Amino acid sequence: MSDLIQPSEEKELAAAVADANSAQTPIEVMGAGSKRAVGRPLQTATSLTTEKLTGITLYEPTELVLSARAGTPLAEIEETLAENDQHLAFEPVDLGPMLGQDAGLGTIGAVFAANLSGSRRIQVGAARDHLLGIRAVSGRGEVFKSGGRVMKNVTGYDLCRGIAGSWGTLAVMSEVTMKVLPRAQSTRTLLFVGLTDEVAIEAMCAAIGTPFEVSGMVHLHGEFAARLVDSDILRRPGPVTALRLENFEPSLDYRCARLTESLAAFGKPAELDDAVSRDFWSNVRRLSFLQGSTDPVWRISTAPTNGAKLVAALARRLECRVAYDWSGGLIWLQAAPSADAGAAEVGRVVAETGGYATLIRADANLRGSVNVFQQLNPGVMALTRKLKESFDPAGILNPGRMYSGV
C-alpha cells in the first residue's frame, strides 16, 4: 500500500511536491483516481490526490466563466451550471464506467489534465479550448499561474494548453478557470440505420458541411448500436448513424427538415425527440457501449475521411467492434483479447493511414509491455523530453505514465 498525500490547500500541495522534488521521490498524481488505469503503469511509493482541494471559487454566468479548485467533482460543477441553463460545452467523456468504475466520479482538474472532450468537440472545440486559466504546482514544487479569468488573453506564453492533456506529468493543477456556455433549449437527433462505415462517414462529412450546426455525429456498429437505441426505434438490427441538432424549438423544426432534405441520398432518417435524444447522447458520453467488458479498447484519432479505410484495414487482421465519433475522426475500437491487445496491427495500420492511437483499456501487464501512447516522431519526442525536464527536472510527477523517461 502506498502513502497517500491529500492536500486541502495549494500551499500544502506545493510543499508536498517540493519535498518530493528535493528527495527525488516519484509520486503518482491523480484527482479521484477514476482514470488511474489509463497510461503506462506507475511504480511509486507515494500517491497524491487533489480530491480535498475542492470548491467553486468563482462563477459569473453573464461572463461565461467559472473557476474551481482542481479536485472539485465534475458532477458538482455541472449541477451548478445547470441551475443557470449553462454547461461545459465540450461535454467531457466519462472514462470511468468503461474502466469498471461508477459514472460521474471524475474531478474537474482531471478533465483538463486528460483533455477529455465529447461529441460536441466537432462544433465547439476540445476541453483545452475551454481552459482560460490555471494555477498549478510544477515538478519544481513552485506555484505558477497562466491565463486568467477573461475570455481573451495572449499575455505571455499559453501554458494552459501546455498543461492540458499532459496527464499530470508536468504539473499538478490546483485551480482551473474555464469558459462555460448556455445550453441549447432543445435537442433532436436524426438517426440513419444500416449505413456502411464508408457511406456513414460520407453522410456525416456532408452534414457537417451544411450550415445547420450539427453538434454531434456518431456511427456505431450494430452490437454497440443495439445497446444505445431501443428496438422499437431500431426495428432491424444494424449499424446506426446519429446526427444531433441543438437550438431553439422553431429553429430545430426548420433545421431538421433542411438537413434531412440535404441528406436525402442516404435514406430517410428516424427523428429522436428531446428526451430520447438527451438519453442517447448521455450514453455516448459515458461510452455505455464499451461497458461490461474488459476487452482492450483503443482510441484512434484520424482525419474523418481516413476512418473507414483505417477500420477496414484493421478488421482484416483483428476481430473488433467499432464506434466512430467526431464525424468519423475519432474511433473507439474494442479488440478481442490477444497477447499484445492488437498493438502491432494498430500501430502498423495507423502509421500507414495517418493519425494516432492510444490504448485506453488493458490490464497493467499489457500497458507495461506495449506503447499505450503512440510513439512520437523524433523531433516531437525530443521537444517532449525537454518540456518534461523544464517543468519537472527530477522526473517525479507521474514518471513514465505517457512515455518511458518522461
In the region spanning residues 100 to 129, those forming contacts with another protein, defined by CB under 8 A, are 115, 117, 121-122, 125-126, 128-129
Contact positions with another protein (CB under 8 A) in 211-230 = 211
232, 267, 287 from 272: Cα distances, Å: 12, 16, 19
Task: Give yes or no for residue 156 binding another protein (CB under 8 A).
Answer: yes
Of the candidates 265, 275, 379, 405, which one interacts with another protein according to CB under 8 A?
A: 379
Q: Which residues, 305 to 334, sit near another protein by CB under 8 A? A: 305, 326, 329-330
Q: By CB under 8 A, is residue 376 in contact with another protein?
A: yes
Q: Binding to another protein (CB under 8 A): which residues in 338-367?
A: 354-356, 358
By C-beta, is 46 or 302 nearer to another protein? 302
Q: Is 373 in the site for another protein (CB under 8 A)?
A: yes
- 313-346 burial, b at 16+ Cβ within 10 Å, e below that, comes to bbbeebebbbbbbbbbbbbbbbbeeeebbbbebb
For another protein, the closer of residues 36 and 258 by Cβ is 258
Which triple of cell numbers denotes residue 79? 449541477
- Given a contact cutoff of 8 angstroms between Cβ atoms, the answer to whether 61 and 83 are in contact is no
Our finding on whether 186 is near another protein (CB under 8 A) is: no
Distances (CA, A) of 276 to 8, 186, 196, 254, 283: 41, 11, 24, 19, 11
Instruction: Tell which one of 182, 257, 352, 364 touches another protein (CB under 8 A).
Output: 182
Number of residues that bind another protein (CB under 8 A): 82
Q: What are phi and psi of 299, to 5 degrees?
A: -115, 115
C-alpha span between 292 and 42 (Å, rounded) = 25
Residues 6+ apart with CB under 8 A from 304: 201, 204, 205, 326, 327, 328, 329
Query: Site residues for another protein, window 60-89 (CB under 8 A)?
Result: 60-65, 85-86
Please give the single-letter amino acid code of residue 29.
V
Q: Which of 260/384 has CB closer to another protein?
A: 384
Strand partners, 192: 241
Query: Per-residue string for binding with another protein, 244-273, x by CB under 8 A?
Result: ----x-xx--x-------------------
Name residues contacting another protein, limited to 28-47 (CB under 8 A).
none
Cβ proximity to another protein: between 301 and 369 the closer is 301
Q: Is 387 in the site for another protein (CB under 8 A)?
A: yes
d(CA 81, CA 125): 19
Closest by CA position to 327, among listed 358, 297, 306: 306
Q: Which of 4, 82, 150, 312 binds another protein (CB under 8 A)?
A: 150
Which residue in the set 44, 72, 101, 146 belongs to the binding site for another protein (CB under 8 A)?
A: 146
Do residues 323 and 218 touch, judged by C-beta distance below 8 A? yes
